[in-house]
């Protein structure tokens, strides 16, 4: 494989380009979280409806991944990612000028095309390196990407307080335009073995779903990320209604999870090649579960402050940062020739589970419920991630992990 040369369309993309492409979806998902109450007030809509800005986006992201991966296996990574980012930019313009909450929700569906950044970055990495090396590369990509969601809610909170919630969507539009320019100038095609037709590639899903390994990696990733998505669905409500935090204060505390995620990504990038992807997933899932149980222990001890709630959440970020890059590397390595389809299907199932967790967490919370329902949903998800990982450690031979 030709080594990457930055801003050269004939070589594989530079790591920075993959980070920006991946970060676009993360920024789009969470920068406006501190503004959810303001959006509800602006459109005179119930919070449950406004929360669909998160869960509908996640559901659309999951559905689109079913098609983005196979399309890239057929037509190539470059043309598919460029097309998706054009649609994303159009959706961002629509969100910025949406006259009604229904229009905003429709625009969010178009913004979900930013999922191509994460889906195809994983496939591009797997096009060029082995499984354990892929886990390391994906770890470094998500570590760099995690800077965006780390500061996104804080910036979104400040923008909301000084310029209104629409300013966050303007920043999303500008960031997406930058990502499109980088993709156009730097992304060389890495799929050298394209499938004959999309229909056949979609039928290859049958081959994937018959693989126990594929399901184990997907379930591990789905349950692990479910903790994070549940927090996205319920965290703003806990912060603003129960703890009385301002949008910028919520963004500051949310950064603790992102800092933890970045730290977990570094651990994954540094040690996955030596430790192995399955053991790294197990360690990450244990750290995640411990963080949730510590948060619950504070609640049952009668301690409920911003720090006592958000500090253990940082451990969830660490655990996710360790588990998810390795789960995703496993997903695209079960059938390397189907890397795009595997990334799309695995990602769709993970995001679908996340959308369900986000909706459930938001539905269970009320002014009198306290944060316990949110933490219970997250704990069930965290424990659920342990079982498929343990199965892999018992069943998968070392030769299967390469």
Whether residue 24 contacts residue 175, with contact meaning beta carbons closer than 8 Å, is answered with: yes
Cα–Cα distance, 285 to 60 (Å, whole number): 26
In eight-state DSSP terms, residue 305 is -
Identify whether 402 is part of a domain. no
Identify whether 1 is part of a domain. no
**Predicted local distance difference test score (pLDDT) of residue 201:** 60
Closest-CA residue to 65 (of 118, 21, 27): 118
Cα–Cα distance, 261 to 96 (Å, whole number): 29
Cα–Cα distance, 152 to 252 (Å, whole number): 9
Mean pLDDT value across residues 247-262: 82
Identify whether 152 is part of a domain. yes
Cα–Cα distance, 230 to 357 (Å, whole number): 5
How close are the terminal C-alpha atoms of the chain, in Å?
Answer: 19
**Predicted local distance difference test score (pLDDT) of residue 329:** 85
**Predicted local distance difference test score (pLDDT) of residue 92:** 97
Cα–Cα distance, 230 to 90 (Å, whole number): 28
* Surface-to-core class of residue 163, CB atoms within 10 Å of its CB (0-12 exposed, 13-18 middle, 19+ buried): exposed
List, for residues 114-148, the tens digit of each pLDDT value: 999 988 988 898 787 776 677 777 777 776 666 77
Mean pLDDT value across residues 198-202: 61
Identify whether 6 is part of a domain. no
Sign of torsion, CA 189 194 196 202?
negative
Mean pLDDT value across residues 77-92: 96
Cα–Cα distance, 38 to 40 (Å, whole number): 5
Mean pLDDT value across residues 42-69: 85
**Predicted local distance difference test score (pLDDT) of residue 298:** 96
Is the pLDDT reported for residue 400 higher than 50? no
**Predicted local distance difference test score (pLDDT) of residue 20:** 92
**Predicted local distance difference test score (pLDDT) of residue 144:** 64
Helical pair 212-237 and 277-300, crossing angle rounded to 10 deg: 30
Cα–Cα distance, 99 to 368 (Å, whole number): 33
Mean pLDDT value across residues 315-323: 91
Identify whether 383 is part of a domain. yes
Identify whether 7 is part of a domain. no
Mean pLDDT value across residues 210-220: 91
To which H or E segment does residue 177 belong?
A: helix 166-186
List, for residues 335-346, the tens digit of each pLDDT value: 877 777 787 788
List, for residues 342-361, the tens digit of each pLDDT value: 877 887 888 778 778 877 88
* Domain extent for 335: 15-396
Lowest mean pLDDT across 101-105, 149-153, 196-200, 245-249: 196-200
Is the pLDDT reported for residue 1 higher than 60? no
User: Cα torsion at 266, 271, 276, 278 (round to 10°)?
Assistant: -40
To which H or E segment does residue 293 belong?
A: helix 277-300
User: How confident is the prediction for the chain on average, in pLDDT?
Assistant: 86
Identify whether 328 is part of a domain. yes
Identify whether 243 is part of a domain. yes
Cα–Cα distance, 377 to 244 (Å, whole number): 22
Percent of the chain at pLDDT exceeding 90: 39
The total number of structural domains in the chain stands at: 1
| More confident of the two residues 217 and 210 | 217
**CATH code assigned at 97:** 1.20.1250.20
Cα–Cα distance, 313 to 292 (Å, whole number): 7
**Predicted local distance difference test score (pLDDT) of residue 401:** 44
């Amino acid at each position: 494989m030709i080594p990457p040369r930055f801003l050269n369309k004939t070589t594989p993309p530079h790591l920075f380009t993959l980070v920006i492409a991946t970060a676009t979806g993360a920024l789009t998902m969470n920068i406006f979280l501190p503004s959810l109450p303001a959006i509800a007030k602006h459109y005179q809509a119930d919070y449950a409806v406004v929360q669909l800005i998160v869960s509908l986006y996640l559901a659309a992201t999951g559905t689109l991944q079913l098609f983005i991966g196979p399309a890239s296996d057929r037509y190539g990574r470059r043309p598919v990612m460029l097309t998706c980012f054009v649609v994303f930019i159009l959706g961002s313009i629509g969100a910025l000028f949406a006259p009604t909450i229904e229009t905003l929700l429709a625009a969010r569906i178009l913004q979900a095309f930013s999922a191509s950044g994460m889906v195809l970055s994983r496939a591009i990495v797997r096009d060029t390196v082995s499984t354990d090396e892929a886990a390391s590369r994906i770890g470094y990509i998500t570590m760099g990407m995690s800077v965006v969601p780390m500061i996104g809610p804080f910036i979104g909170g400040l923008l909301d307080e000084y310029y209104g919630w629409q300013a966050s969507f303007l920043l999303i539009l500008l960031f997406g335009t930058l990502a499109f320019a980088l993709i156009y100038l730097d992304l060389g095609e890495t799929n050298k073995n394209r499938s004959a037709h999309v229909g056949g590639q979609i039928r290859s899903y049958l081959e994937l779903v018959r693989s126990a390994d594929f399901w184990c990696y997907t379930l591990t990733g789905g349950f692990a990320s479910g903790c994070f998505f549940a927090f996205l669905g319920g965290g703003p409500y806990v912060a603003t209604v129960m703890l009385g935090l301002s949008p910028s204060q919520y963004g500051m505390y949310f950064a603790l999870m992102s800092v933890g995620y970045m730290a977990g990504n570094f651990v994954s990038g540094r040690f996955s090649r030596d430790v192995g992807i399955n053991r790294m997933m197990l360690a990450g899932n244990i750290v995640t579960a411990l963080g949730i149980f510590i948060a619950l222990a504070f609640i049952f001890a009668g301690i409920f402050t911003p720090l006592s709630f958000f500090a253990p959440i940082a451990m969830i970020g660490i655990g996710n940062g360790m588990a998810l890059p390795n789960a995703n590397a496993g997903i695209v390595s079960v059938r390397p020739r189907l890397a795009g389809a595997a990334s799309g299907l695995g990602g769709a199932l993970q995001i679908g589970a996340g959308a369900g967790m986000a909706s459930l967490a938001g539905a269970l919370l009320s002014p009198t419920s306290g944060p316990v329902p949110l933490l219970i949903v997250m704990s069930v998800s965290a424990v659920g991630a342990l079982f498929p990982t343990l199965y892999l450690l018992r069943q998968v031979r070392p030769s299967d992990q390469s």
